Structure 1
Amino acid sequence: MATTASDRPTVPPAAPHVLVVPYPAQGHMIPLLDLAGLLASRGGIRLTVVATPATAPLLAPLLAAHRDGAVRELVLPFPSHPAFPAGVETARGLSPALFGALIVAFAGLRGPLGDWAGARSDGPDRVVAVLSDFFCGWTQPLVAELGVPRIVFSPSAVYGTAVLHSLFRRMPRREDDDDDESPIPFPEIPGAPAYPWRQLSLLYRTLKDGDEVSEGIKRNFLWNLESSAFVSNTFRRLEERYLRAPVADLGFRRVLAVGPLAPDADAAGNRGGETAVAAADLCAWLDKFADDGSVLYISFGSMAILHPPHAAALATALEHTGVPFVWAAGPTVIFPQGFEDRVAAAGGRGRLIRGWAPQVAALRHRAVGWFVTHCGWNSVLEACAAGVAMLAWPMTADQFVNARLLVDEAGAAVPVSWGGLSAAPAADEVARVLGAAVGGKLGGVTARVKELAEEAAAGVSEGGASWSELEVLVRELRRLGCEPME
């Protein structure tokens, strides 16, 4: 049975009721919960946020911040599916082969949600709109049944979202099935970019004709193109080129840019689970570095599994250059033999963190000047908001698209490697890039990212572009509550 928080004081029953459906992956769920908090804070809207038992704990900070009842939870059992392992409810630790199956399995919530919303269709709790992640395309036929609009939340760049949807809309193929470097063009995206086959989303590259999971993944993205609008965690000055006019690969739908939804260092807290090191402890360690911007922060995200050759190239480069660093490595990274012991014996020049790290706090510390990143979009926005230049090392998913945006267009990053998971760079090449960055030879990049930080802060401030687009969304949701049902 579904459970709801019913013991809190309620907002006025006339306030429109919006159903929020996050996707159960940390990098998707956290920014959508941040957006839900902003919507609730503007007032005049009630939100019910869907979770399963495994993801419900992530809702605790949002519920605690809105004890007036503006935000409620709806906890549903995770649906079973023959293609997905029983007992698993989130993307964390999943193999790439199972990530697509999670998208399809999660769609099993459509029936229970339809029953739940249908039972409220004639009362003050009727749902007037659904705000859902772009991996929850199945909410599009749900809203068609309910007769309400759906707004798609994109936790990715507008550019990256357009590239992803373009693949499933056009279904391009490579000329030679054995050529991973075969270029795939995107003619209807501004600038008409092209990417080698190996840099495209694995969700697309592993599609199989007639396969149930493959068909479900494709249908997911095509459903998004039938929505009312997209809301993206980005900001206009970073992606002006892709926000200037509706894009064919997003169904010519309107896109509202409301980011960055990156929190400040104090508000970030323990957002992803158990923190391996406290923010105060890490900041105290960083305080000992007298030179601003002298420390590298290194992280490849919460889901990436860094292959041993890549870890070895980076570890060797760090030792050769002597660059001070914090490496949030996660529990599964395999370092070269003796590396951890040598770091521990080096007198505090480097620090290794096994597990979740307080990334926002680290990036906003004055000592951190560069970020070695896989270019996951949440990390990109956190770095932009902090004014920290990036050393781009994309591996998979939308990361190559994000890296190209940062390197070629925004001028906020320098590439470390374009080889992805398939090819690790040479250690001396990694050392050259690290040395140039911390050695002050890339001043133009650091200056540009400082400008982006100012533009990001201005965008989310009252009257800024992102603030105003959020106001547009709030006004439209409020208005839906005043309109009679069709």
Structure 2
Amino acid sequence: MSTAETHVLAYPFPSSGHVIPLLDLTKALLSRGVQVTLLITPNNQPLLPTNFPPNLHTLILPEPLFPNPNQNRLVAIVTFMRQHHYPIILDWAQAQAQATPPSAILSDFFLGWTHLLARDLHVPRLVFSPSGAFALSVVYSLWRDLPRNDTPQGPNAVVSFPNLPNSPVFHWHQLTLQFTKPERGGPEWEFHRENILLNIDSHGVVFNSFNDLERVYLDHMKKELRHERVWAVGPVLPLSPLPEERGGSSTVSRHDIMGFLDSREDGSVVYVCFGSRTFLTSHQMEVLTRALELSGASFVLSVGVAKAKEHGKVPCGFVDRVGVRGRGFLIEGWAPQLEILGHRSVGAFLTHCGWNSVLEGLVSGVVMLTWPMGADQYTNAKLLVEELGVAVGAAEGEEKVPEAEELAKRIERALGRSTKERVRAEELRNAALRAVGEGGSSQKELDAMVKVLGEVKHEGDAT
């Protein structure tokens, strides 16, 4: 049957790091003739493409409000969406019954409650994971097995995952705060647990990953979920041409950034960025900037605009000493990351290891320096350093911050021309490009997913 009869509701969590990859996946579905209705909030409308294809529709939903400052931000946003978006989507779907009714919901990992919405709409719900298969395997195991730790601050407080491939071990502080911070059994903890269990019960899961990157964990996920509806369709990135704006505007022009990079030698620049939601402490910032100074390397340093007193600022005098637009370039605010990483002069990427940044680093073929801060980042760092061999460990949160001299040495190592990490970086870059190329594994997986959705709709029509 025609893919035009398949109508997917794409529902991201309303944060740019979640909206952007789901938008990229949406574009791939649209290119296959699938109808997509994007459920989006007003603040994220600027992320939408300017020229809508005819098979893309939007349903604008109320912006989440969380008036209680003491409530966890994630819990507040998701609770608002469940309470206020749910009835709007139901009413909208009923109005579509005579046109092209929804045939599936593709929703973010944080929106586990949409499994219940899909049940009310009599359609399957697919989980879109903003994390990789390794990270999600750890999270699913964590909430299923519910390990305890009576001494979370102890140096030997570790959690092992013997049922996962390679039996990974993590320190307690490396696990997601959603599991370790709330009181076990309390309302917030149970909220997160329900979200995970609803994700596990959903019809399938879609990863922004690819087989050659995480095959063993993708296979593990199929085994754990007891079905084959696990698709690795990534990296879902706009490799060419790059969009003018991808998530925000910068305080500096692309022309100036590219001019600086054009003046550098091939592979000589380290790009430093911790994502749009991570802010360094004063100590972390002092160590980082001192290390950049000591390393002698050229660099692009992207930092968020400090919004609270605990956020570290670039130390006074640093810019003057390294000579911005001389040896270093400072960006405050959004950075055109894909374009920077893809420049010939960038050889290393110091990153917090958010999954979007990991994938952008991989397709650019740069060596990564890992400095995870929370969420899935410790898991991603372990994958990059210990299993894939494509990265150098730089630091960990506030717990393991090396001396500036040591961090400088790690930066120098990451910029080395013939290291084992650089060889692996090139291998994985090629593997990523093969996966998304014509006939590649990710293209085949996406076709298989679309086929399953068409069959599900066909079965529903026949009943």
- TM bracket (short chain): over 0.9
2:410 match: 433
Q: Given the alignment of the two structures, is residue 337 of structure 1 paired with residue 312 of structure 2, yes or no?
A: no
1:201 match: 176
Query: Are the counterparts in 1 of residues 372 and 378 from structure 2 also a CA contact under 8 Å?
Result: yes
Letter in 1 for 2:47: L
2: CA distance, partners of 1:200 / 1:247 = 23
Given the alignment, which residue of 382, 395, 399 partners 1:404? 382
2:42 match: 53
1: CA distance, partners of 2:343 / 2:25 = 25
2: CA distance, partners of 1:446 / 1:179 = 36
Distance 1:390 1:81, change over 3 A: closer
2: CA distance, partners of 1:159 / 1:363 = 24
Q: Given the alignment of the two structures, is residue 192 of structure 1 paired with residue 142 of structure 2, yes or no?
A: no
Letter in 1 for 2:24: D
Query: Are the counterparts in 2 of residues 31 and 261 from structure 1 also a CA contact under 8 Å?
Result: yes
2: CA distance, partners of 1:172 / 1:221 = 15
Distance 1:300 1:80, change over 3 A: closer
Q: Given the alignment of the two structures, is residue 382 of structure 1 paired with residue 360 of structure 2, yes or no?
A: yes
2:351 match: 373
Q: Given the alignment of the two structures, is residue 76 of structure 1 paired with residue 54 of structure 2, yes or no?
A: no
Query: Are the counterparts in 2 of residues 278 and 358 from structure 1 also a CA contact under 8 Å?
Result: no
3-state secondary structure, aligned to 2:314: coil
Query: Are the counterparts in 2 of residues 104 and 213 from structure 1 also a CA contact under 8 Å?
Result: no
1: CA distance, partners of 2:450 / 2:342 = 30
Aligned-residue offset at 1:252 = 5.6
2: CA distance, partners of 1:74 / 1:347 = 44
Given the alignment, which residue of 26, 33, 36 partners 1:36? 26
Letter in 2 for 1:78: E
User: Structure 1, residues 219-245: CA drift from partner, whole Å, max 9, x if none?
Assistant: 111100111110000011111111234
Query: Are the counterparts in 2 of residues 159 and 242 from structure 1 also a CA contact under 8 Å?
Result: yes
Given the alignment, which residue of 352, 360, 363 partners 2:341? 363
Report how many residues are paired. 455
1:394 match: 372
2: CA distance, partners of 1:421 / 1:21 = 34
Q: Given the alignment of the two structures, is residue 241 of structure 1 paired with residue 216 of structure 2, yes or no?
A: yes
Query: Are the counterparts in 2 of residues 180 and 198 from structure 1 also a CA contact under 8 Å?
Result: no
1:308 match: 282
Aligned-residue offset at 1:202 = 1.2
Aligned-residue offset at 1:78 = 2.9
* TM-score normalised by the chain length of structure 2: 0.92
3-state secondary structure, aligned to 1:420: coil
Aligned-residue sequence identity (percent) comes to 41
2: CA distance, partners of 1:251 / 1:220 = 19
Q: Given the alignment of the two structures, is residue 352 of structure 1 paired with residue 330 of structure 2, yes or no?
A: yes
Query: Are the counterparts in 1 of residues 273 and 301 from structure 2 also a CA contact under 8 Å?
Result: yes
Aligned-residue offset at 1:462 = 1.3
2: CA distance, partners of 1:459 / 1:27 = 22
1:317 match: 291
Aligned-residue offset at 1:179 = 2.5
Distance 1:374 1:246, change over 3 A: closer
Q: Given the alignment of the two structures, is residue 15 of structure 1 paired with residue 2 of structure 2, yes or no?
A: no
Residues 445-464 of structure 1 aligned to structure 2 (within 5 Å)? 445-464=421-440
Letter in 2 for 1:342: R
2: CA distance, partners of 1:428 / 1:13 = 57
* TM-score normalised by the chain length of structure 1: 0.88
Question: What root-mean-square deviation, in Å, do the aligned CA atoms of Structure 1 and Structure 2 show?
Answer: 2.2
2: CA distance, partners of 1:17 / 1:263 = 23
Aligned-residue offset at 1:83 = 4.7
3-state secondary structure, aligned to 2:59: strand
Q: Given the alignment of the two structures, is residue 220 of structure 1 paired with residue 198 of structure 2, yes or no?
A: no
3-state secondary structure, aligned to 1:162: helix
Query: Are the counterparts in 1 of residues 5 and 100 from structure 2 also a CA contact under 8 Å?
Result: no
1: CA distance, partners of 2:425 / 2:331 = 26
Aligned-residue offset at 1:209 = 4.1
Query: Are the counterparts in 1 of residues 350 and 371 from structure 2 also a CA contact under 8 Å?
Result: yes
3-state secondary structure, aligned to 1:454: helix
Query: Are the counterparts in 2 of residues 132 and 152 from structure 1 also a CA contact under 8 Å?
Result: yes
Bigger mean CA offset, 256-265 vs 148-157 = 256-265
Query: Are the counterparts in 2 of residues 188 and 247 from structure 1 also a CA contact under 8 Å?
Result: no
User: Structure 1, residues 17-51: CA drift from partner, whole Å, max 9, x if none?
Assistant: 211111111111100010001000111x2110001
Query: Are the counterparts in 1 of residues 143 and 193 from structure 2 also a CA contact under 8 Å?
Result: yes
2: CA distance, partners of 1:452 / 1:268 = 24
3-state secondary structure, aligned to 2:291: helix
1: CA distance, partners of 2:57 / 2:137 = 32
2:16 match: 26
Letter in 2 for 1:461: G
Letter in 2 for 1:338: G
Query: Are the counterparts in 2 of residues 138 and 223 from structure 1 also a CA contact under 8 Å?
Result: yes
Distance 1:81 1:435, change over 3 A: closer
User: Structure 1, residues 410-469: CA drift from partner, whole Å, max 9, x if none?
Assistant: 11101012x3133422111101111222244x6111111101111111100111100100
1: CA distance, partners of 2:180 / 2:155 = 10
1:64 match: 51
Distance 1:78 1:249, change over 3 A: farther
Query: Are the counterparts in 2 of residues 189 and 247 from structure 1 also a CA contact under 8 Å?
Result: no
1: CA distance, partners of 2:455 / 2:222 = 26
Distance 1:206 1:31, change over 3 A: same
User: Structure 1, residues 295-347: CA drift from partner, whole Å, max 9, x if none?
Assistant: 11111111111111111111111111211000111212412231123233x66
Aligned-residue offset at 1:213 = 3.2
- List alignment gaps of at least 5 residues for structure 2: 307-311
3-state secondary structure, aligned to 1:316: helix
Q: Given the alignment of the two structures, is residue 299 of structure 1 paired with residue 276 of structure 2, yes or no?
A: no
2: CA distance, partners of 1:233 / 1:347 = 35
- List alignment gaps of at least 5 residues for structure 1: 1-11, 86-94
2: CA distance, partners of 1:351 / 1:172 = 45
User: Structure 1, residues 42-86: CA drift from partner, whole Å, max 9, x if none?
Assistant: 11x211000111122222x1x6141x2x1111001135566568x
1: CA distance, partners of 2:244 / 2:147 = 42
Query: Are the counterparts in 1 of residues 128 and 206 from structure 2 also a CA contact under 8 Å?
Result: yes
Given the alignment, which residue of 153, 158, 161 partners 2:133? 158
Aligned-residue offset at 1:191 = 1.4
Distance 1:99 1:439, change over 3 A: same
1: CA distance, partners of 2:380 / 2:224 = 17
